[in-house]
Amino acid sequence: MEQIFEGKTALVGGSTQGIGLATAKLLASKGCKLVLLARNEEKLQAIIDTLGQSHQYIVCDQSNIDSVHAACFKLTTLPIDIVINNTGGPAAGLANSATFNEYINAFQQHLIANQLILQAVLPHMKANNFGRIINIISTSVKQPLKGLGVSNTIRGAVASWSKTLATELGPFAITVNNVLPGATSTERLATIIENKSAKQGLEKDYIEQEMLEEIPLKRFAKPEEIAEAVSFLASNAASYINGINLPVDGGRTLCL
């Protein structure tokens, strides 16, 4: 595979499973050095053992602000050229019944953590006149998803933060874009289906089929397909793409 990221280092969040892991593997195969970010050190070490010792990891629980601060202190010493912000979404539930703490915790885990990471890596990006910040969010940015009230809210906040940064950082050749995955075959999707099944008293197969009917391609995405979109936006081929929301959802979102 062409080594299009040779000489670049990427920080990949949530890199022990799902979209994060698929993205890490793809970037590594294209010559990128990785700094993996996740909370499970045993899983992180296992991935490094697989990908090679030229990569490294930082243990970080983004739901714990002290853990994020500690991770960012380490990041200030590393030459991060590409940031993939990716972390687990808030639990399902209605917006109107969500608690104060649910909103605060989601805000800290997503927007505040992203902001702290940005500030840790920004000096290097500005000095090199190059940077890529890619946020894995959700199609709820364009069309709210039923039963994901807190998630819909915080994803929208991250999208607006990204668009603002795209304007501010463009003069430094730093692009900021969002990838909006649709229903993707990950542990989170399995959890969502299980929760819907339990709440509605319906079989999981029925819930899954209902979801598939909303997707023109009639299947869920593979994590690797989301990773391909991330890889493109991180590459030089996307150097003039800045401040966009890119749905990768098989056509499910009904608006442009």
pLDDT at 1 over 80: no
Query: In sequence order, what E strands does the chain have?
Result: 9-13, 33-38, 56-59, 82-85, 131-136, 174-181, 245-248
- What is the rounded CA–CA span in Å between residue 151 and residue 89? 6
Tokens, residue 147: 């039963």
Q: What is the pLDDT of residue 67?
A: 98
pLDDT 10s digits, 45-71: 999 999 999 999 999 999 999 999 999
Confidence of residue 107 (pLDDT cuts 50, 70, 90): very high
pLDDT 10s digits, 141-182: 999 998 899 999 999 999 999 999 999 999 999 999 999 999
pLDDT at 235 over 80: yes
Tokens, residue 148: 């994901």
Report the SS3 class of residue 69: helix
- What is the rounded CA–CA span in Å between residue 64 and residue 79? 24
Confidence of residue 256 (pLDDT cuts 50, 70, 90): confident
pLDDT 10s digits, 2-16: 899 999 999 999 999
Class (C level, CATH) for 9-182+223-248: alpha beta
pLDDT at 218 over 80: yes
130 HSE (CA, 13 A, CB side):
15
Q: Which residues contact 222 (CB under 8 A, 6 or more apart)?
A: 22, 184, 185
Q: What is the pLDDT of residue 178?
A: 98
- What is the rounded CA–CA span in Å between residue 163 and residue 141? 12
Q: What is the pLDDT of residue 105?
A: 97
Q: Read off the pTM.
A: 0.95
Give DSSP secondary structure letters for 197-227: HHHHT--HHHHHHHHHHTSTT-SPBPHHHHH
Cβ atoms < 10 Å from Cβ of 85 = 26
pLDDT at 39 over 90: yes
In the chain, where are the structural domains located? Answer: 9-182+223-248
